Amino acid sequence: MPMRQVSGSSDHAVPASDPNDTPTILAERLQAWKHAVGYLEDYVGATEKIHKAHSKEYEKVLKTIANPLREAHHFEQSLGGVAGMFENMRVNTQSLVNSHLETEKNLKGSVLPILERLHKEIKNKSKELSSGAAKTAKEVEKARATTQKHIELLGQQTANHAAAGGNTDPSNDPYVLQRGVYYRLNKQVLEENNNKHNLIAVQNNFAQFESHVVEVIQQAMMSFNQFVGGQAQRTQALYQDMLAQGQQIPPDFEWQRFVGRSGHMLVNPNEPDRSVDAISFPNQNHKSTKPLIEGTLERKSRNKLSMHGYSTGYYVVTPSRFLHEFKDNDNYRKDPVPELSIFLPDAVIGTTNGEKFNVKGKDVSGGLGSKLSGSSEIAFKAHTAADAQRWFEVIRSVSGAGPNLGAEQPTSPVSPTERRVVSQPPTYSEDEAEFVPRSLDPNPRPPSPTYPLPQQRQTSGVIGGADAATRQPAT
């Protein structure tokens, strides 16, 4: 007997494709058509119910504008305005109340039955598919499973042939098993071809059936439009009349009459805008808000690895005996919270060296830097040696002074373009030491309590009277 060779591998003998793919997708397509027709049924049914209820619903609509307008005194009550437009809307809405019952009856008696019959046809088609093509697909699956099982058995015996030295029982002889594969493969192919021809016939029938479905849908939509369209045209005419009435109102009709009635309560556009500089508030010019000295200083960085030796900041000595550091003297761009605050009575002030001087104290600003730095010595550099001396004199006069020490006017070491009064060194009474740092005073006095004070934006370079630096400390 001649040997037959099967081209390809066992994967080709048993295709990976699922024979249920075609019946499944066709069943899904019928389901899609059924749902589409169901959507139309729901749409027409909902429209029918809406028209049935529209007579009552339009009565509800009418009630929304039946009462006079709220705040009616804002509108012109004569014809040609908004009040007249609403009166026209009431009349036309009343005309809509009785235009829907007939439409509801036509939809329920003529359009819905067409779609209901089509829905039943699609359901019957689905049953026909499941009893025909789906059944043959199952036979193909069964035949493929039998073939695959025999191919796997042949593979096992051929693998064991060499190991067993050719010794095996007759039923497991690879030759016999191979012929068994041909037998089962033939039955499988017959089932596959039968299923294929059946599916081709079903597909061709589907094309005709879908054409029928589309034609019935078109017929139902035509009837739907015939009944609903007439009512819609009547509704459109009424709404167009409402639109025309509203469009006859001049754009400025209501506003001009409103201004004539209530113009005295409106904002005057010619009134100038408010300015912060023109606003006053309580304690705005209290002496405790006036800095004893203020201006820009350069501060040496405490970071030895820093590439910048000095950085410029805006510094202020206040009557509350604090030395505050700010980024600048702008009160508007951001909240002017001090970057550094040193309570001067607790600080040690070094003498000037040209334009440089040092202050050693603890940052009490409450920021992250104050928590990390502790007490440290800060090196400052003024613009000139004279400026440094003024800063030194003011700081020294504040250190150890009483709480009432303060200046009526601010002083500043900068800005030659503004009025300039040179501060004088502070004087002391005979029974008071000139200056002893708190850390060296054997009888230190407790620091005076400080209170949060409102801050006043100061123009850089403004210098106060000379008494700011020459006032004697309180004894």
Q: What is the dihedral of CA 139, 140, 141, 144, to 10 degrees?
A: 120
Say if 47 falls within a structural domain: yes
d(CA 100, CA 103): 5
Of 256, 276, 300, the residue at which a domain comes to its end is 256
Say if 274 falls within a structural domain: no
Which CATH number covers residue 297?
2.30.29.30
- Examine the domain organization and report whether 356 and 419 are in the same domain: yes
- Examine the domain organization and report whether 61 and 205 are in the same domain: yes
Do the beta carbons of residue 447 and residue 329 sit within 8 Å?
A: no
348: three-class secondary structure by DSSP? strand
d(CA 82, CA 75): 7
- Examine the domain organization and report whether 228 and 324 are in the same domain: no
- Examine the domain organization and report whether 105 and 38 are in the same domain: yes
Say if 67 falls within a structural domain: yes
Of 235, 256, 277, the residue at which a domain comes to its end is 256
Which residues partner with 325 through β-bridges?
Answer: 315, 340
Say if 273 falls within a structural domain: no
Q: Residues with Cβ < 8 Å from 65, sequence gap 6 or more?
A: 86, 89, 90, 93
Do the beta carbons of residue 442 and residue 369 sit within 8 Å?
A: no
- Examine the domain organization and report whether 58 and 159 are in the same domain: yes
Say if 261 falls within a structural domain: no
- Examine the domain organization and report whether 198 and 323 are in the same domain: no
pTM for the structure as a whole = 0.42
- Examine the domain organization and report whether 409 and 339 are in the same domain: yes
d(CA 188, CA 182): 10
Q: How confident is the model at residue 170, as a pLDDT?
A: 75
- Examine the domain organization and report whether 211 and 150 are in the same domain: yes
Q: According to the 3-state scheme, what is the secondary structure of 184-213?
A: HHHHHHHHHHHHHHHHHHHHHHHHHHHHHH
- Examine the domain organization and report whether 175 and 127 are in the same domain: yes
Say if 204 falls within a structural domain: yes
Of 256, 277, 297, the residue at which a domain comes to its end is 256
Q: State phi, psi for 337 to the nearest 5 degrees.
A: -90, 130
- Examine the domain organization and report whether 65 and 130 are in the same domain: yes
- Examine the domain organization and report whether 35 and 163 are in the same domain: yes
How many domains would you assign to the chain?
2
Q: How confident is the model at residue 20, as a pLDDT?
A: 64
Q: How confident is the model at residue 178, as a pLDDT?
A: 75
Domain of 309?
285-441+453-470
Q: Within 13 Å and on the Cβ side, how many CA atoms surround 323?
A: 28
- Examine the domain organization and report whether 70 and 205 are in the same domain: yes
Say if 277 falls within a structural domain: no
Say if 262 falls within a structural domain: no
pLDDT along the chain (475 residues), means of 10: 40 60 84 95 93 88 87 81 89 88 91 95 86 70 77 75 67 77 79 76 86 96 93 92 92 87 86 89 93 93 66 94 93 91 92 93 77 76 94 88 41 41 38 37 42 38 38 37
d(CA 295, CA 326): 10
Which CATH number covers residue 230?
1.20.1270.60
